[in-house]
A and B are shown apart, each in its own frame.
Chain A
Amino acid sequence: MEQSEVIHIEHHQNKNEVRNVTIVLSVLTIVELILGFLMMDMAHGSTARLATKITIIVLMLAKAYYIVGYFMHLKHEIRNLIMTIVVPLLLFVWFITAFLYEGNSFRNLRNTYDPHFKEQQFIKKQPTEHSNKQEHKEGDHEEKKVME
């Protein structure tokens, strides 16, 4: 039988492990949400906002670690298995760095060498009513534009 080849190691894991990981995940999510609310008052493009975003990403990675390590049980598998899963995923480091760098570079190049593009991108619009207000009519919007 195929199954008999697998040595079933008794996991004498902490009885409370699942409960503890649930608490950790909930707390991390709540902290993320608090940071999200704090971020609303920060100016767009400010250092404080950027720092908050980086903190949220770190918390996200921590959550991912707890889900994969404990819920998906990878931490309790043997080293060979962990390595075949984790090592290929290291490609993401290059993947993310290269592509985000590329995107950023593309924006800078266009802003520098394509004045028309930049001009188009920085035209301010009247905030349109996209949310709950039903009374908004297309006509109002047209008038505002004419008045400008």
Chain B
Amino acid sequence: MSTATTATTKWWNGGKSPFNVEYGKLMMWYFLMSDAFTFGAFLISYGTIRFSTNGWPDPNVVFQSYPLKSATSGPAPLVFVSIMTFILIISSVTMVQAVKAGHEMKKNKVVMNLIWTIIGGAAFLSCQAWEWNHLHHEGAWWGHNPFLNSDLTQSSTNFTNYFFTITGFHGFHVFSGVIINIVMLIMTLNNSFEKRGHYLMIEKAGLYWHFVDLVWVFVFTCFYLI
């Protein structure tokens, strides 16, 4: 087990990676840490503005629709966004399976799971595109906020500015993640990893993909729930 190995191995005596991971994976971790600070700065800025404002729109009033919803049915808050959340969680699980299959050198299983992950990412992006389009039709955009605060006072454009900037930045990460996963899929199909003898590249792509899921956990909570 890992603890026993740590006790007996002299990690800093040279000749081996003191972190016991290959260079690329370590650098992916550091990149993700810096990216966490970028997202953190965005969300903290949002929180600061929200704390410095007397009123704020109620997310349950703003986000209350889903595709093909009939005009007569009542508001449905949290429904669509919970579907988006589950799509991302499930695509994260299939990515874990792809990484695991890579460790076992099972090419077909890697391909299958990567395809599912890509489908999940594409589905999430489609949901987000629909939601942006829907909000845009209601008059919400950068610099335009048609919604009132929860106490019916005039709301500022800070609400829509932060919403579109932060979900947009996250959506861009999802988009890059899908592209990375497609590249991984093509490389797997070309037997690049088989020739290399290991699937460690999938692991790095997986770290990035899980990070995207992780950020959504925070964005979802900050914008839709509280």
B221 touches A32 (CB 8 A): yes
B143 on the A face (CB < 8 A): no
Q: How far is the CB of A118 from chain B (nearest CB, A)?
A: 8
Write the A88-108 contact mask toward B (1 if CB under 8 angstroms, else 0).
Answer: 110110011001101110110
* A103 and B49 in contact, given A64-B214, A121-B55 (Cβ under 8 angstroms): yes
With a cutoff of 8 Å between Cβ atoms, the chain B residues found around residue A96 in the complex are 44, 47
- State in angstroms the CA–CA spacing of A136 and B150 once bound together: 21
A78 touches B221 (CB 8 A): no
Q: How far is the CB of B11 from chain A (nearest CB, A)?
A: 6
Write the A52-80 contact mask toward B (1 if CB under 8 angstroms, else 0).
Answer: 01001100100110011001100011111
A123 on the B face (CB < 8 A): yes
B71 touches A132 (CB 8 A): yes
* A67 and B33 in contact, given A2-B23, A132-B65 (Cβ under 8 angstroms): no
With a cutoff of 8 Å between Cβ atoms, the chain A residues found around residue B17 in the complex are 5-6
Q: How far is the CB of B128 from chain A (nearest CB, A)?
A: 18
Q: Which residue from A57, A125, A127, A131 sits with its C-beta under 8 Å from B138?
A: A131
With a cutoff of 8 Å between Cβ atoms, the chain B residues found around residue A118 in the complex are 54
- State in angstroms the CA–CA spacing of A85 and B27 once bound together: 11
7 interchain residue pairs of minimum CB distance: A103-B51, A103-B48, A103-B52, A81-B19, A106-B52, A130-B146, A60-B221
> Which residues does A use to contact B, with CB under 8 Å?
2-3, 5-7, 9, 11-12, 18, 22, 25-26, 29, 32-33, 35-37, 39-40, 44, 53, 56-57, 60, 63-64, 67-68, 71-72, 76-81, 84-85, 88-89, 91-92, 95-96, 99-100, 102-104, 106-107, 110-111, 118, 120-125, 127-128, 130-134
